[in-house]
């Protein structure tokens, strides 16, 4: 059975219906602003905790420049390794889980 062919270039590009600025005004504590990542990155505190924990996993300390995709991933986490914000949120998450 053949699938119907999708038309390309004629469809309206997807645009989310959520007004991000209005949502942020209603939920000011939902996201934190990372001071170390480029572009004034806003992320969930849980995502920040995951990055901090991943950055401090011992397996990332032994990886060199090869393979390149792991090297890029590791370098992306360097700023999170000694980050005070990530450490504080990780501590708070552990306290809340206990
Ligand atoms: S751990 Fe620090 S550097 Fe990493 S995302 Fe969180 S605030 Fe940003």
CB 78 within 8 A of CB 55: yes
Predicted TM-score (pTM) of this structure: 0.74
- Interstrand relation of 42-43 and 32-33 (parallel, antiparallel or unpaired): antiparallel
pLDDT digits (tens, 9 = 90+) for 34-57: 999 888 899 999 999 999 999 999
Model confidence band, residue 74 (pLDDT cutoffs 50, 70, 90): confident
Residue 9 Cα to ligand 1 midpoint, Å, equals 38
Residue 83 has pLDDT above 80, yes or no: yes
Residue to mutate, 42, 82, 86, ligand 1, most ligand atoms under 8 Å from C-beta: 86
Tell me the percentage of the chain whose pLDDT exceeds 70. 90
Q: pLDDT of 10-33, one tens digit each?
A: 777 777 788 888 988 999 889 999
Question: In sequence order, what E strands does 1-98 have?
Answer: 32-33, 42-43
Cα separation, 95 vs 87, whole angstroms: 12
Domain boundaries, the chain: 24-93
Look-up of token digits 């990055």: 51
What rounded mean pLDDT belongs to the chain?
85
């Amino acid at each position: 059975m053949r699938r119907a062919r999708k038309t390309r270039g004629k469809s309206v590009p997807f645009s989310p219906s959520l007004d991000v600025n209005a949502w942020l005004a209603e939920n000011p504590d939902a996201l934190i602003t990372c001071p170390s990542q480029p572009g004034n990155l806003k992320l969930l505190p849980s995502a920040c905790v995951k990055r901090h924990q991943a950055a401090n996993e011992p397996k990332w300390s032994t990886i060199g420049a090869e393979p390149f995709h792991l090297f890029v991933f590791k370098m992306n986490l360097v700023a999170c390794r000694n980050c005070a914000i990530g450490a504080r949120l990780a501590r708070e998450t552990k306290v809340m889980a206990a």
